[in-house]
Amino acid sequence: MDFKRLRIGVVAGIASGLVSVSSAGAPTAAGLDAANFDTKVRPQDDFYRYVNGGWLDRAEIPADKARWGAFNELDDSARRLLRSILEEPAPAGAKVDPDAAKLRALFASFMDEKTVNAAGAKPVAADFARIDALKSASDVVAEFGYLDRIGVNGPLDFAIHQDNRDSTRYIVDLVQSGLGLPDRDYYLSDDEKLKGFRTKYRDYVAVMLGKIGLADPQAKATDVLALETRIAEAQWTKVENRDPVKGYNKMATTGLAGLSHDIDWPRFLAAIGVAGKITDLTVSQPSYVSKLGDIVRTTPLETWRVYLKWRVLNQAAPYLSAEFVDTQFAFYGTTLRDVPVSEPRWKRGVRFTEGAMGEALGRQYVARTFPPESKARVEKLVATLLATFRRSIDSLDWMGPATKAEAQAKLAAFTAKIGYPAHWRDYARLKVVPGDLLGNARRATLFETDRQIAKLGTPIDRDEWTTTPQTINAYYNPELNEILFPAAILQPPFFLAEADDAVNYGAIGVVIGHEISHGFDDQGAQFDGKGNLRDWWTAEDHDRFKAKTEALVAQYSAYEAVKGYPINGNLTLGENIADNSGLAVAYRAYQSTLGGKPAPVIDGLTGDQRFFASYATIWRQKERESESIRLNKIDPHSPPAFRVRGALANQDAFFAAFDVRPGDPMFVPAGARTRIW
């Protein structure tokens, strides 16, 4: 998507319950695009189709994509700009920017196909030799840790973040990992399609193992699948992992033996690089760790060698010769996601470079795309949304005075980060070697691993960003009690500085409200304003909130992502709360900007109609079926169409704006609507 102004030409027909859209004309202040509407569909029948039907009919998913929508359009545009930055020659006679030079060298190492193809699988030969030398279960556990440092996830991963019970310190957290398929259901479900993926995964593993010369690769692939299935059986579900209290299990490092005597903990901690630096840590899934100990003890050493080689090879494949790249894509791209062709190498190169030095590339991106006036406008929007949330808390009928006081204290402690970091990351210690693609990938991962470990024992860095300015996303972080909006999402269709307030509040305003409300969803509400996991709710308020969330679970569980694959209302609960709450509060925030005066009618649409149309616009998306199934298993977000239909079903103002009446397909009786904020 380019950075042009969006266009609309709309004629209203409210009396008949129909809003019709004319052909696109000259750019107007509305900031919507008439060509994306489907005027043959009444908004009361299918609002998602009414707003996006023209786009859905016209748009085709690119051959190298599993899905295509507003987010993807912006991301594609960003990739092209980043490519131009990476291909810019160094200015003649100018002082050399070391970060810019490293960025160009990283990108060049990825684009040097001739050197990469000539190397074949040689870049992983040292890894294979080290794995062949493993002589015991203790050696295997140490290898888990070593590989984890360089970005190869075995059955046990680690992360460093704030202690959820003491937000003033960093702590090591051990988490489950080690699967090659997207989720444990792919190993355990009786669904015929998922069972088919298991068979195809085993065949893929066999082909890859055959390429590195392992004897009887089909039998070895069967062993890998069997081992990963045991790991999957031991793992917690994604719904279980949503519980931050259940997942907080702090213990002394000396207490790890109590979970399993079959894991050599001193060697594992030494291998990941934290031995001697910590005396305690947290374990996210203790029952999994205990079962992993049994798996370590009972799995033959040769099976572990094959599994670890497989993990190394699968992680390294994007940085190896074309035969490995193509074979991996054939499974993860085409088989699992229905994507016909791989992305052009330059796009993969941009992502690789961005993954290695994201903030350095982001600094260049911001300088070209994000003017100060855009930042100022978004800051104003955030302030309005926060003020609306403050008023909303006071008006809640399901939250008592004591809980409201705590909620207000948490809201007052919110931090908003907009556009780009206050301080850019220093990459001076990262070494880039021309012609060594996998080595550069490993060194970049080690650089980040060591940067994270260096946090231990230091004050919390409250200025740190965990995403880049060029990322098309936004987030709420409960540990820092912060909301963050990168520069890249602050453009059409999410935000247009010159657009009508109704359109901006319906798009980026809802995104802002969505992220704020995560501080009070079923997970975020368990953290206080300082980022500590603390129950600040009364028992009565818990019960009233639970009744509302159970209604949302039931509502979204009745939708199907793909026929036969219902949405998991428990997995998507937090995001569904945020969609519904963000939409409701953004609507009230928009109303507050009118100062009690009626909104102007622009292109035949009232302010409320433009607001809800703008919301539906940002969720336009098409997906390939296998991708929809994959996301349904792993993604905590509902499918885009149901982010619109599901949230609108609970908004009284939507029914009034479009005169939605009993008998209309979009109609939901007032008593059946779930109102949280």
Q: Is the predicted pLDDT of residue 4 greater than 70, yes or no? A: no
15 versus 640: which is more confidently predicted?
640
The pLDDT tens digits for 667-676 are 999 999 999 9
Work out the average pLDDT over 275-279.
Answer: 96
Q: Which helix (H) or strand (E) holds 653?
A: helix 652-657
pTM of the model: 0.92
DSSP for residue 253:
G
Note whether 487 and 421 are within 8 A (CB): no
What torsion, rounded to 10 degrees, do the Cα atoms 424, 428, 430, 431 define?
140
Tokens representing residue 189 in the block = 């479900």
Give me the architecture of the 124-318 domain, per CATH: Orthogonal Bundle (1.10)
Tokens representing residue 582 in the block = 């963000």
Measure Cα distances from 573 to 74, 249, 286, 521 in Å. 27, 24, 24, 8
Per-residue pLDDT band for 174 (boundaries 50, 70, 90) equals very high
The set of residues, in sequence order, having a beta carbon less than 8 Å from that of 344 and lying 6+ positions away, is: 64
Q: Is the predicted pLDDT of residue 537 greater than 80, yes or no? A: yes
Mean pLDDT of the chain: 93
Name the one residue in this structure whose structure tokens are 């295997």.
140
Tokens representing residue 376 in the block = 């100022």
Work out the average pLDDT over 326-348.
Answer: 98
Per-residue pLDDT band for 98 (boundaries 50, 70, 90) equals very high
Q: How many CB atoms lie within 10 A of CB 84?
A: 11
The pLDDT tens digits for 523-535 are 999 999 999 999 9
Tokens representing residue 355 in the block = 């993954």
CA distance 172 to 318: 29
Nearest residue to 232 (alpha-carbon basis) of 293, 286, 188: 188
Work out the average pLDDT over 176-195.
Answer: 97
Q: Which helix (H) or strand (E) holds 211?
A: helix 192-211
The pLDDT tens digits for 196-255 are 999 999 999 999 999 999 999 999 999 999 999 999 999 999 999 999 999 999 999 999
The pLDDT tens digits for 56-75 are 999 999 999 999 999 999 99
